[in-house]
Amino acid sequence: MLPIFTNNKLVDAAKNAIEIWLIDTRTNHRITETNTNQGSSTMKLEVLVLDGDFRCEDDMVWTNDQFNAAIVKAREGRRPLLVGSTLNVAMNNQGVAVIEDVAFTDNSSWIRSRRFRIGVRVMATSYYGPRIQEALSESFTVKDHRGELYKKHYPPTLTDNIWRLKNIGKDGPIDKRLESEGIKNVQDFLKLHTIDPDKLQNLVGMSDRQWRTTLNHAKTCSMGGKCYVFKSEGCDVIFSPIGEILAARIGDQTCSLQQLHQEHKVPHP
């Protein structure tokens, strides 16, 4: 999982509010109708922080005591570790609760595992039936919000500064070398890779493994819908924003690069 930053609302992988479902462990199906409190649907949930080392494989069943022992409290003199308006949230009668306003106030670097989990349990005063096992997230790192100013983008955009790519630090030696060659953003980076990939790799000066990681990250960038046309007599060539040939118009015919016949290609000197 990517790191989470303090003061940012917790969201799911699609950046939507987190939903908690009530699941029947015998069938692994969602319970869509609940009567949880003598005919009413007022079961309430509590959102907590757990140590990232708490083991919770899919088939593992833990006790209340084991769960409680893994709860992480705020450091002495600090604000509550979690804040927000949905730390206690009601589950509706379709067996769903929505956590849409919860954020961390502190990073996870001070506990041994250096990782947290989110745990959700039923508040005992709102439910009197058989035990409902707690919900747990995967473990993740929480970083201070100020670190977000320097975080990498997934995916990057064409206009992102070059240090938004993996393995390139802001104002670091690679960033400065590239900037001295006029490569200031991801579009510049990918253009040079199209034109002269060896020159770019030499400028970056990374190991082959790091280079592949950085280049693959850059290539996840969306090209958008813009393209460029070079016009000449009898032939127009269409380029992507990073200088790749997309197609050519030869007379009245438009061909993709793959469709071009060998005789239509300009031979290399």
Cis peptide before 155 (omega within 30 of 0): yes
Q: How far is CA 191 from CA 130, 142, 211, 232, 239, in A?
A: 62, 35, 16, 22, 11
What is the CATH code of the structural domain delimited by 4-146? 2.60.40
- Please state, rounded to an integer, the average pLDDT across all residues of the chain: 87
Give the pLDDT of residue 155.
92
Give the pLDDT of residue 93.
80
Cα(191)–Cα(200) distance, integer angstroms: 10
Q: State mean pLDDT over 207-212.
A: 96
Least confident of 160-164, 213-217, 222-226: 222-226
Tokens linked to 37: 């409190």
**pTM for the full model?**
0.56
- Residue 23 burial (C-beta neighbours within 10 Å; 0-12, 13-18, 19+): middle
Q: State mean pLDDT over 2-22.
A: 88
Evaluate if residue 251 carries a pLDDT over 70. Answer: yes
Give the pLDDT of residue 38.
43
Identity (one letter) of the amino acid at 248?
A
Tokens linked to 194: 């199209």
Give the pLDDT of residue 89.
93
pLDDT tens-place string over residues 23-38: 888 888 888 765 544 4
Higher pLDDT, 42 or 206: 206
pLDDT tens-place string over residues 54-72: 976 555 788 889 999 999 9
Region of residue 234 (left: phi > 0; alpha: psi -120 to 50; beta: else): left
Evaluate if residue 127 carries a pLDDT over 90. Answer: no
pLDDT tens-place string over residues 69-105: 999 999 999 999 999 999 999 988 888 999 999 999 9
Tell me which DSSP letter residue 79 carries. Answer: P
Give the pLDDT of residue 269.
46
Least confident of 48-52, 110-114, 138-142, 263-267: 263-267
Q: How far is CA 56 from CA 28, 29, 60, 137, 146, in A?
A: 16, 19, 6, 9, 31
Evaluate if residue 253 carries a pLDDT over 80. Answer: no
Give the pLDDT of residue 57.
59
Give the pLDDT of residue 205.
94
Give the pLDDT of residue 161.
94
Instruction: List helix spans (H) across the chain.
Output: 64-69, 173-180, 186-195, 197-204, 208-219
Domain boundaries, the chain: 4-146, 153-219, 228-264
* DSSP string across 119-142: EEEE-GGG--SS--PPEEPPPB-E
Cα(31)–Cα(22) distance, integer angstroms: 6
Evaluate if residue 144 carries a pLDDT over 60. Answer: yes
Give the pLDDT of residue 42.
76
Tokens linked to 186: 């991801």
- Going by C-alpha positions, the residue among 171, 174, 172, 164 that lies closest to residue 206 is 174
Give the pLDDT of residue 168.
95
Tokens linked to 184: 């200031």
Q: State mean pLDDT over 94-122.
A: 94
